[in-house]
Structure 1
Amino acid sequence: MRSPTVAPLGRGRLLPLPEAGTAGAEGGPEVADRLVVHPVPTGLPLNTSFSVKARRPGGGWRTVPVLRARTRTVDETTGAGIVRNSSVANLDFTGTVEVEITSTKGAIGSARVRPLSYAVEHEVSGDTVRFSLTEPRNLSVEIDGDLHDNLHLHANPVEQQRPEADDPDVIHFGPGIHTVPDNVLRVPSGKTVYLAGGAVLKARVDFTNVENARLIGRGILYDTDGGTTVAFSRNIEIDGILVLDPRTGYSCAIGQSQQVTVRNLRSYSCGQWGDGIDVFSSEDVLIEGVFMRNSDDCVAVYAHRWDYYGDCRNITVRDSTLWADVAHPVNIGTHGNPEKPEVIENVVLSNIDVLQHREPQVLYQGCFALNPGDDNLIRNIRIQDVRVEDFTRGQLVNMRVMANRYNASPGRGVEDVYVRNLTYDGTHADTAILAGYDADRPVKNVTFQNLTVNGTVVHDGMEKPGWFLTADMVPMFANEHVWNLRFLDAATAGSTVAPEIVGAGEATATRGRAFNHLVTATALPTSFDAEGLPKGLVIDKDTGLISGTPLAPGTSTVTVSATNAAGTATKSLRLTVRNA
């Protein structure tokens, strides 16, 4: 292991924070009042467009530092990248927190607090916006419609358990700016990397050929060649970290790995190919509670690329907010292995807010893009409870078997896609495209249920001119190689046959480590359940994801079920929890 090297004295000095509370053992604030404002080391760029204060009701105001984040869009005439400064503020709290945001540019004409689905009530007075929060939120506060020089507020939950600095299994970084040799921190098996609030690590965190390892805390990865890499590894957890302005690479790349959990990751990128989270040839991956503002795809799911080979399956993205200044909020497909065709299957996208999609190139549009290439096949995709706010340029969905400059051959097809409760409110969406490549490479069995566009539910029984297709009401174009495309209202059953649970009848978890197992079934199930789960595990009844941290070793027989309007299917799952 390469030991962490603390930056020289002076670079690690902390900025004073008025009313920040009593310093704790790590030089950070106490959490007795359940409002935590972390220090910021000198040398980390700040932004002056806003000042931010927070307090518990009736308490004293505390200054929240405002960091500089850089974003990137593309000039539609020249193709050049346009990099702009934006603002990020972070705090941790429980209970209720009051927030006051002041614009240094003067009086505010109008303000929005997004995602709009949170319905954050706010008031504007002069140059200041005020509101209260009662639960953790990742927010964008936009003044007079400015999407670039806005304030991103990450109001996090308070950390429940922080590892001890002298724990031999912990690589601990306290407040300050830190560097390591070669600018890469290679994490061994069984280790936890902890970035305390106020810690800034200028290095990529690398999990390669390891298991049972974590990256956690409230610290920042800054100015790195990629944020984190998980390669050929198992039982990896990333939680609570901010990735700020990576010079190159993705904020989080997951390749040929299993049992990976990425939680409450916040990411801002401004470089070319500045993807957020990319998953290659991996299984049992959970991405939840993330906020991604990126200069390329926010979340991408692929099969083979580079040194990663094999199918990609059982990927869940939930409870997250996506902002794509370039390309797609979600992109599935594209890369694969024509010499040994692969499958991307069992992908669930649930409870997602899309705040922006800005892509002038038609070939790369789609808030949700399912674009198989390189002979890969995309199947069994669920997109549900998704809200897309008005975006700048692009398509709501794009399901297209493609062969572009990134592909050696077209994909094999897209099949069995269930889109339920997708809402779009806006006027800038171009016509959505569904297109099979030919009769042997179709898009088939796609069901939209309760698709709502500007308040109108689009369904096959809706009132429309007799010669119109239902897809025209989206609007959406479907070519002759799209088969069994349906639009249902909320009350219409998606299937007339009961589900059948498919997939493995056994799974293995590790005590004390995050675990993910996705229950999948045919015939468009609308709910799931599980009986007999070990302590520490729960099932998401909307998605079928069994997740959590098992507490004790042993073997359990779990009865899982999937239900639709036609009936319920059950199956036994043998779940073994082993010691680490």
Structure 2
Amino acid sequence: MAAHLGILYRGVVLLIWAAACAAQSLNSSLFRSSGTSWKSLDLWEVPLSEVNTSSGKSIVHYGSVGYFDFCDQVEVALTYTGSVESVSIRPLSYDIKPTVSGSEITFTLSKPRNIVIEVNGDIWDVLHLLSNTPDLEAPTGNSSSVIYLGPGSHSFPGGSINITSGQTLYLAAGAVLRSTVHFYEAHDAAIRGRGFMYQPPTGGILAENSSNILIDGITILTPGGYVVTLGQSKDTTIRNLHGFSSKGNGDGIDVFSSENVLIEGIFMRNSDDNIAIYAHRWNYWGSTRNVTVQDSSLWADLAHPINIGTHGNSIDPEVIEHLTIRNIDVLDHREPQTLYQGTIALNPGDDNLVQHVLVDDFRVEDFRQGQLINMRVMYNEKYNTSPGRGIHNVTIRNLVYNGSHSNMNVLVGYNEERPITFVKFINLKVNGKLVYDTMPKPTWYMTSDFVPMYANEHVKNLTFVLE
């Protein structure tokens, strides 16, 4: 195993103190309810990818991942090898203030959080510290409906396991699964727990032609494909998932032709889109409706944190609609290719119509390279057989960006028949400045100049307001 529980990664030692909480955790000795002593937390080494824009190859960096459960409050102490010039704990919106004394960094978590501890501005050699509340309903063994994987390494013949209707695959704390998990034509089934999936060969979790699927609490490191693929399924919940990828096209969660999807409380750091929402592709057919992504943190080492619309069915056009994206922290976005930029990207092709989208409480930190917003009704010859039909009725409320690396933001309709219509920004704030139509400005300036944003002649009813 390239990285294993128990390693000390690059001189980082993490100690945890927990009060008033006897909890299940990565190992049974991690917490003491009395809170009288410090205990060490084992870390995983995780590869992370940076694209070399000269060769197209990946430059591999290594960070670390630690996970534990707790309730009440914990104090965290890290000892760092070398001098500590600066420490940033992200998302910045959590306002966690560390104390630095020599090489020791300390801070307190008042509740479970998924955070990144960045020392001396190094975005690669970081600690991703993930946490959750204890699973008080954890099974203790196999039953007629539960496949229980206890602490230790597990794999299944052929590198995958299919979970059938009514079954739950449970990964206990300390369990490490090396196989892909597949739901196919299943209903009322789940994978949950506090364990890890490590380098599953053909992707992390695939749910296809299924309904009432639950994915909860798992951490997935560097799958051989997407972290989660959801295809032509309905009534699916993905909760408290942590996913890391470093290979090309290493998407986080991709939703195809599915309805009634809830994604919440996740942390994703991926080498391609963190969340992608599409209609038809491959063997998945039909529109996508009623998708909610909320209460999550996203870090895209390449491509988009949120990407909507690319793939569809030009012969029998589909709709991607009724999407809600709220309470999101974007920690990073780096995309050198102009066609694939945007922390929020609505890019319908293949005669897709994207409509009825709400983005609410979306906080973007200073990313490396890209755009804050990209909305294009597009025809991409690499992926599409026709342009998209349009983008309609998008509300973006309480979008906050603090940074200096956003390129010109873009809203571009394809033509008069394939436009962008009724886009409203409410309380848009860029580097502390509210942007709205009645703001003090020269009369010959457009409001969009203050984002800045380019909107072409096929964008109708674009407004910026305060509430």
| TM-score interval (norm. to shorter) | over 0.9
- The structure 2 residue matched to 1:472, chosen from 437, 446, 449, is 449
Which residue matches 2:231?
255
**1:125 is aligned to 2:97:** no
Q: Distance in 2 between matches of 1:237 and 1:451?
A: 35
**1:293 is aligned to 2:281:** no
Residue deviations 1:284-330 (CA, integer Å, cap 9, x gap): 00000000000000000000000000000000000000000000000
Deviation for aligned residue 1:56: 6.7
Residue deviations 1:77-124 (CA, integer Å, cap 9, x gap): 3222111111100110001111111223x1211100010111112101
Deviation for aligned residue 1:58: 4.5
Quick one: which amino acid aligns to residue 431 of structure 2?
N
Which residue matches 1:223?
199
Which residue matches 2:73?
96
Deviation for aligned residue 1:253: 0.4
Which residue matches 1:141?
117
| TM-score computed with the length of structure 1 as normaliser | 0.76
- The structure 2 residue matched to 1:344, chosen from 320, 335, 342, is 320
8 A Cα contact 2:7 2:42, kept in partner = no
Where in structure 2 are the equivalents of 1:174-193 lying within 5 Å? 174-193=150-169
Q: Distance in 2 between matches of 1:379 and 1:174?
A: 45
Quick one: which amino acid aligns to residue 94 of structure 1?
C
Residue deviations 1:393-420 (CA, integer Å, cap 9, x gap): 0000100011111111110000000000
Q: Distance in 1 between matches of 2:178 and 2:191?
A: 14
- Over 3 Å counting, the alpha-carbon distance change for 1:32 and 1:200 in structure 2 is farther
Q: Distance in 1 between matches of 2:392 and 2:144?
A: 49
8 A Cα contact 2:175 2:195, kept in partner = yes
Quick one: which amino acid aligns to residue 38 of structure 1?
L
Where in structure 2 are the equivalents of 1:318-357 lying within 5 Å? 318-357=294-333
8 A Cα contact 1:97 1:133, kept in partner = yes
Count residues in correspondence: 457
8 A Cα contact 1:55 1:99, kept in partner = no
Where in structure 2 are the equivalents of 1:263-302 lying within 5 Å? 263-302=239-278
Which residue matches 1:363?
339
Which residue matches 2:40?
63
Which residue matches 2:84?
108
- Runs of 4+ displaced beyond 4 Å: 13-18, 53-58
Which residue matches 1:396?
372
**1:406 is aligned to 2:394:** no
Unmatched tracts of structure 2, length 5 or more? none
Q: Distance in 1 between matches of 2:187 and 2:240?
A: 21
Q: Distance in 1 between matches of 2:102 and 2:159?
A: 45
Where in structure 2 are the equivalents of 1:479-494 lying within 5 Å? 479-490=456-467
Deviation for aligned residue 1:164: 3.2
Quick one: which amino acid aligns to residue 320 of structure 2?
I
**1:169 is aligned to 2:145:** yes
Q: Distance in 1 between matches of 2:31 and 2:194?
A: 18
- The structure 1 residue matched to 2:397, chosen from 420, 441, 445, is 420
The RMSD of aligned alpha carbons is 2.3
Deviation for aligned residue 1:179: 0.9
Q: Distance in 1 between matches of 2:403 and 2:303?
A: 18
Q: Distance in 2 between matches of 1:415 and 1:468?
A: 25
Q: Distance in 1 between matches of 2:93 and 2:33?
A: 24
Residue deviations 1:369-403 (CA, integer Å, cap 9, x gap): 00000011000000001100000000001000111
Residue deviations 1:253-276 (CA, integer Å, cap 9, x gap): 000001000000000100111000
Residue deviations 1:421-455 (CA, integer Å, cap 9, x gap): 00000111111000000110001100000000011
Q: Distance in 1 between matches of 2:237 and 2:156?
A: 25
Deviation for aligned residue 1:55: 7.2
Aligned to 1:438, the other structure's residue is in SS state coil
Aligned to 2:443, the other structure's residue is in SS state coil
Q: Distance in 1 between matches of 2:130 and 2:76?
A: 12
Deviation for aligned residue 1:163: 1.5
Aligned to 1:91, the other structure's residue is in SS state strand
Aligned to 1:394, the other structure's residue is in SS state coil
8 A Cα contact 2:7 2:44, kept in partner = no
Aligned to 2:226, the other structure's residue is in SS state coil
| TM-score computed with the length of structure 2 as normaliser | 0.94
Quick one: which amino acid aligns to residue 281 of structure 1?
S
Aligned to 2:116, the other structure's residue is in SS state strand
8 A Cα contact 1:70 1:84, kept in partner = yes
- The structure 1 residue matched to 2:439, chosen from 436, 456, 462, is 462
Deviation for aligned residue 1:168: 1.6
8 A Cα contact 2:352 2:388, kept in partner = yes
Which residue matches 2:22?
34
- Over 3 Å counting, the alpha-carbon distance change for 1:329 and 1:14 in structure 2 is closer
- Over 3 Å counting, the alpha-carbon distance change for 1:149 and 1:16 in structure 2 is closer
Quick one: which amino acid aligns to residue 464 of structure 1?
K
Aligned to 2:173, the other structure's residue is in SS state coil
- The structure 2 residue matched to 1:239, chosen from 204, 212, 216, is 216
Aligned to 1:237, the other structure's residue is in SS state strand
8 A Cα contact 2:20 2:33, kept in partner = no
Aligned to 2:114, the other structure's residue is in SS state strand
8 A Cα contact 2:45 2:63, kept in partner = yes
> Radius of gyration: which is bigger?
1
Which residue matches 2:61?
84
Q: Distance in 1 between matches of 2:389 and 2:136?
A: 47
8 A Cα contact 2:24 2:135, kept in partner = no
Q: Distance in 2 between matches of 1:304 and 1:31?
A: 50
- The structure 2 residue matched to 1:379, chosen from 355, 364, 374, is 355
